[in-house]
């Protein structure tokens, strides 16, 4: 039996209010990494988001390819993993929780 991972934190996402809707939704975050340029990417339910702290936005990005995902999965939180001759750092649970708790984001295109 395969167990689904538990969320590490929850992203607060501000949305446009529609009739009877809520101005905010919450999306569970299961992990994330920093790329060589220092961009932060978070894995949520079926989505990967690049975080823009300056504008408080999230931009949908493609998920890791299977080979990169396997390297990510084999790496402990806070450690680096190599893929395509580049170093990526898997974020620790505390880092992810801090990012999610300190900010309210909106989705950008």
Which pLDDT tens digits describe the chain residue by residue (109 residues)? Answer: 344 578 999 998 887 666 555 677 889 999 999 999 999 999 998 899 999 999 999 999 999 999 999 999 999 999 999 999 999 999 999 999 999 998 889 988 7
What pLDDT is stored for residue 109 in this prediction?
Answer: 72
What pLDDT is stored for residue 22 in this prediction?
Answer: 61
H helix runs in 29-78, sequence order: 66-73
Query: Going by C-beta distance under 8 Å and a sequence separation of 6 or more, which residues neighbour residue 30?
Result: 5, 6, 7, 8, 43, 44, 45
Domain residue spans in the chain? 9-108
What pLDDT is stored for residue 61 in this prediction?
Answer: 95
What pLDDT is stored for residue 21 in this prediction?
Answer: 57
What pLDDT is stored for residue 102 in this prediction?
Answer: 87
Give the whole-angstrom CA distance, residue 23 versus residue 17. Answer: 5
């Amino acid at each position: 039996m395969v167990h689904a991972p538990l969320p590490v934190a929850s992203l607060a996402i501000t949305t446009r209010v529609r009739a009877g809707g809520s101005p905010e939704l919450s999306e569970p975050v299961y992990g994330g990494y920093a790329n060589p340029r220092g961009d932060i990417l978070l894995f949520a339910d079926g989505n990967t988001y690049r975080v823009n702290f300056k504008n408080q936005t999230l931009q949908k990005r493609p998920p890791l390819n299977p080979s990169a995902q396997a390297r990510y999965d084999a790496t402990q939180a806070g450690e680096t993993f190599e893929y395509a001759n580049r170093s990526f750092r898997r974020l620790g649970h505390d880092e992810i929780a801090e990012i999610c708790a300190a900010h309210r984001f909106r989705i950008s295109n």
